[in-house]
Amino acid sequence: MSSRPSVLAHICLPALLLLGVSARAEAPAASAPAETSVDDNGHFVVKFPGAVQRSSVPVDTPVGKVTMNVVSHEAGIIAYMIIYSDYPAGSVAKSGGPDKVCENASKGAVGSVSGTIRTSTACQLGDVTGLEIVADIPSKNMTARLRFFVVGDRLYQVMYIGPPGQEASPAVMNYFESFRLLR
């Protein structure tokens, strides 16, 4: 196997660069009621702590243009995001399988913001095994909790980005536990 990073690792870079948008806000936004988001196209359901925004961004990757679909809630310096992208058929297998894709995606995401991975553990979502990391981003004085899951050739990223010490709060953990795949 090549030592070059997986082509799927590149999808996290734009996602964590969104951190720059969130980190600029100084005060939390006015709180909105929690919103359960059912995304039929993304095949998931999740409960965000407030109103969500949706966007799709084309991203150039070594396998061609891939659409990064983002469903997010931002409140001041805190951001909750679900990002999913479909890669060409067979890309996950060519990149070493789901475990390797999750590992490479996590390293690529954290490396792109000069962060460090504090913890990295396997996680489970039904019958899908994924990877959960907690990362420190000292240049932004932020911490991120991310879960990566691969289903077929789709990469899901479930994220929280916010101030250090909040990444294991009940609100954050409830958000992560609310994420479910619809197949």
Ordered per-residue pLDDT tens for the chain, 183 residues? 333 333 333 334 434 333 333 333 333 444 568 888 888 888 999 999 999 999 999 988 777 788 999 999 999 999 999 999 998 999 989 889 999 989 988 998 898 888 999 999 999 999 999 999 999 999 999 999 999 999 999 999 999 999 999 999 999 999 999 999 997
Is 2 part of any domain?
no
- Kindly state the helix (H) or strand (E) to which residue 93 belongs, with its residue range: helix 91-94
- Domain membership of residue 124 (yes or no) is yes
Residue 1 lies in a domain: no
The DSSP string of 118-143 is EEEEEEEETTEEEEEEEEEEGGGTEE
User: Domain with 112 in it: what CATH number?
Assistant: 3.40.1000.10
Q: Which domain holds residue 170?
A: 7-24+35-181
Total structural domains within the chain: 1
CB 19 within 8 A of CB 76: no
